[in-house]
């Protein structure tokens, strides 16, 4: 039974990936605002009704993996050595985003460029990114020697918020430079500025 569930999940991920790739092709060719969900469905070879079973909006198509990415960062953070400081552990855990094989430099640039130039995407991304605080703050609290509670420790919350702001800043700088330079190095530069 579990095997069938995992097959169903693999099939779902394959369809989501096809939808995402079809949407990205259209977004790159026509722009985000000019692309309709009907066009995405046609490009993906599915009905508009089927499209809405996988993603409710165009923004969801682009941002669909953000929760999974947040869980990946959380798992990587948990796996960091206990003696590692909170900043070092969080910085290393965030590296899983850069190491994602689906996140090629060109794809990452195109998506980041869309975020920069599309207010609705920026807003939805921020909303989804705020969910990462619930995932990451308790891990940083443990690292700081605090028991996670209903009210987050201000130091842990500040560290996670700053690290995510550094990530967003680095991405925006990288896009404004036309994708030139190493995004990880720009991120590290932003973290050094905050910690300095």
Domain ranges of the chain: 2-61, 65-195
* pLDDT at residue 2 in the model: 45
What size, in residues, is the chain?
Answer: 196
The SS3 assignment for 178 reads coil
Helix axes 86-99, 154-176, angle to 10 degrees: 40
The SS3 assignment for 70 reads helix
Q: Which fold has domain 2-61?
A: Arc Repressor Mutant, subunit A (1.10.10)
The structure tokens listed for 126 are 């921020």
Per-block average pLDDT, block size 10, for the chain (196 residues)?
A: 65 84 86 91 92 85 81 95 94 87 72 86 86 93 87 91 94 93 93 93
5-20 tens-digit pLDDT: 588 888 887 888 889 8
DSSP string, 41-60: HHHHTS-HHHHHHH-SSHHH
38-52 tens-digit pLDDT: 999 999 999 999 898
CA distance 190 to 183: 11
Residue 40: Cβ within 10 Å count: 23
CATH class belonging to 65-195: mainly alpha
Closest to 62 in 3D by CA, of 11, 107, 97, 1:
107
Decide whether 2-61 matches 65-195 in CATH topology. no
What's the whole-model pTM score? 0.80
Is the distance from CB of 58 to CB of 30 less than 8 angstroms?
no
Is the distance from CB of 156 to CB of 136 less than 8 angstroms?
no
* pLDDT at residue 40 in the model: 93
CA distance 99 to 154: 30
């Amino acid at each position: 039974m579990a095997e069938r569930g995992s097959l169903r999940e693999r099939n779902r991920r394959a369809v989501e990936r096809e939808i995402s790739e079809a949407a990205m092709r259209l977004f790159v060719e026509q722009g985000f605002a000019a692309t309709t969900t009907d066009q995405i469905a046609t490009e993906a070879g599915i009905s508009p009704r089927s499209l809405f079973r996988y993603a409710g909006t165009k923004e969801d198509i682009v941002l669909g993996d953000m929760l999974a990415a947040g869980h990946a960062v959380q798992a990587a953070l948990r796996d960091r050595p206990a003696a590692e400081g909170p900043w070092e552990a969080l910085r290393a855990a965030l590296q899983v985003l850069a190491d994602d094989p689906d996140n090629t430099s060109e794809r990452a640039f195109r998506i980041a460029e869309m975020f920069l130039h599309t207010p609705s995407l920026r807003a939805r991304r921020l909303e989804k990114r705020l969910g990462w605080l619930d995932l990451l703050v308790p891990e940083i609290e443990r690292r700081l020697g605090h028991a996670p509670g209903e009210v987050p420790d201000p130091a842990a919350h500040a560290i996670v918020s700053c690290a995510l702001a550094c990530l967003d800043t680095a991405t925006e700088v990288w896009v404004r430079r036309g994708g030139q330079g190493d995004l990880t190095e720009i991120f590290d530069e932003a973290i050094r500025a905050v910690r300095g």
